[in-house]
Chain A
Amino acid sequence: MSSVVATHDEHHDHGPGKGILRWVFTTNHKDIGTLYMGTALVMFLVGGVMALIIRAELFSPGMQFVDPMFFNQMTTLHALVMVFGAVMPAFAGLANWMIPMMIGAPDMALPRLNNWSFWLLPFALLLLASTLFMEGGAPAAGWTLYPPLVLQGGAHLPFAIFSVHLLGISSIMAAINIIVTVFNMRAPGMTLMKMPLFVWTWVITAFLLIAIMPVFAGAVTMLLTDKFFGTSFFNAAGGGDPVLYQHLFWFFGHPEVYVLILPSFGVVSQIIPTFARKPLFGYSSMVYATASIGFLSFIVWAHHQYTVGMPIEGELYFTYATMLIAVPTGVKVFNWISTMWKGAMTFETPMLWAIAFVALFTMGGFTGLMMSISPADLQYHDTYFIVAHFHYTLVTGAVFAIIAATYYWLPKWTGHMYDERLGKLHFWLTTISVNLTFFPQHFLGLAGMPRRIPDYATQFAEFNAWSSVGAFVFGFSQLIFVYVIIKAVRGGEKATDEVWEGAREHGLEWTLPSPAPYHTWTTAPEIK
Chain B
Amino acid sequence: MDVAISGTLPHLDDCARDQIGNEVVPVLEDGDYALDYYGYSKKERTVGNRHRSHCSDALYRCDPQGNDGIIRTVNNSESRKVNKRLVWSIVFVAVGMFGFGFALVPLYNVFCEVTGLNGKVKTEAVADAGYVVDQSRELTIEFITSVNESMPLAFRAEKSKMKIHPGQYYTVKFYAENTTDRKMIGRAIPSVAPGVASEYLSKAECFCFSEQEFEPHKLREMPVRFVIDPSIPENVKDLTLSYTFFDITDKNRN
Contacts and interface: CB of A to CB of B under 8 A. Distances in A.
A244 B123 contact: no
A241 B108 contact: yes
B47 interface: no
A247 interface: yes
Given A213-B94, A237-B248, A527 B3 contact: yes
Given A172-B94, A184-B86, A244-B108, A215 B187 contact: no
Contacts of A230: 251, 254
Interface string B119-143: 1100100000000000000000000
Interface string A218-239: 1100100000001001011111
A215 B102 CA distance: 8
Nearest to B90: A176
Nearest to A181: B83
A46 interface: no
Contacts of B48: none
A164 to B, nearest CB: 13
Nearest to A522: B72
A188 B37 CA distance: 20
A180 B117 contact: no
B207 interface: no
A18 interface: no
A521 B97 CA distance: 36
A521 B72 contact: yes
Contact of B55 (A1, A106, A184, A526): A1
Contact of B82 (A1, A184, A243, A527): A184
A3 B187 CA distance: 81
Interface in B168-213: 187, 189, 193-196
A525 B70 CA distance: 8
B61 A8 contact: yes
B101 A218 contact: yes
A110 B6 contact: no
Contacts of B234: none
B119 to A, nearest CB: 8
Interface in B64-85: 64, 69-72, 74, 79, 82-83
Interface stretch (A261-269, A288-296, A306-314, A431-439): A306-314
B20 interface: no
A178 B48 CA distance: 34
A211 B244 CA distance: 37
Given A213-B94, A214-B95, A508-B3, A180 B108 contact: no
A183 B86 contact: yes
Interface string A1-12: 110110111001
Q: Which of B1, B71, B195, B251 has the most CB of A within 10 A?
A: B1
Contacts of B82: 184
Interface centre among B83, B193, B194 (most CB of A within 10 A): B83
A214 B69 contact: no
A121 interface: no
A311 B55 CA distance: 68
A110 B86 contact: no
A194 B4 CA distance: 14
B83 A184 contact: yes
A292 B5 CA distance: 34
A526 B64 contact: no
Nearest to B59: A8
A247 B5 CA distance: 51
A18 B251 CA distance: 58
Contacts of A106: 72, 74
A295 to B, nearest CB: 16
B86 A4 contact: no
A214 B94 contact: yes
A213 B93 CA distance: 11
Interface stretch (B9-17, B155-163, B222-230): B9-17
B104 A247 contact: yes
A485 interface: no
B97 A212 contact: yes
Nearest to A176: B90
A429 interface: no
B194 to A, nearest CB: 8
A525 B4 contact: yes
A109 interface: yes
Nearest to B7: A526
Contacts of A241: 108, 118, 120
Nearest to A206: B90
Contacts of A222: 102, 105
A296 B148 CA distance: 39
A41 to B, nearest CB: 29
B97 A214 contact: yes
Interface string A407-450: 00000000000000000000000000000000000000000000
A7 B56 CA distance: 13
B35 to A, nearest CB: 8
A215 B98 CA distance: 5
A213 B94 CA distance: 8
Nearest to B91: A176
B1 A194 contact: yes
A180 B87 contact: yes
Interface string B42-66: 0000000000000110100110100
A1 to B, nearest CB: 6
Contacts of B117: 310-311, 313-314
A127 interface: no
18 contacts: A1-B16, A1-B56, A5-B61, A172-B94, A176-B90, A180-B86, A180-B90, A210-B97, A217-B101, A218-B101, A218-B102, A311-B118, A314-B117, A511-B3, A521-B72, A523-B72, A526-B5, A527-B2
The 10 A-B residue pairs whose C-beta atoms are closest, nearest first, are A218-B101, A237-B246, A214-B98, A526-B6, A214-B97, A215-B101, A311-B117, A4-B58, A528-B2, A523-B69
Given A214-B101, A309-B119, 8 more contacts: A1-B56, A110-B83, A179-B86, A179-B90, A210-B90, A235-B246, A241-B108, A508-B3
